[in-house]
Amino acid sequence: MLLSHPARPIHQVAISSGYPTASYFNKVFMEMEGITPSDFRKKYGYEGGAS
């Protein structure tokens, strides 16, 4: 899963996933998951540090 790679910015995850913009990716992700991609990273420990 692309979000599990903290070195990859959210906008790169969006483009790699086929979304035209990061804001649209955030909107769709929020609608489907009920949480933003950034908060998802925080919640599941994908913020950075040792991997």
Residues 9-43: name the CATH superfamily: Homeodomain-like (1.10.10.60)
CA distance 46 to 31: 20
Q: Where are the domains of the chain?
A: 9-43
Nearest partner of 38 among 10, 8, 7, judged by Cα: 10
Better pLDDT: 19 or 50: 19
Answering whether pTM is above 0.75, one says yes
What pLDDT, on a 0 to 100 scale, did the predictor assign at position 46?
87
CA distance 32 to 23: 14
Average pLDDT of the residues in 4-21: 94
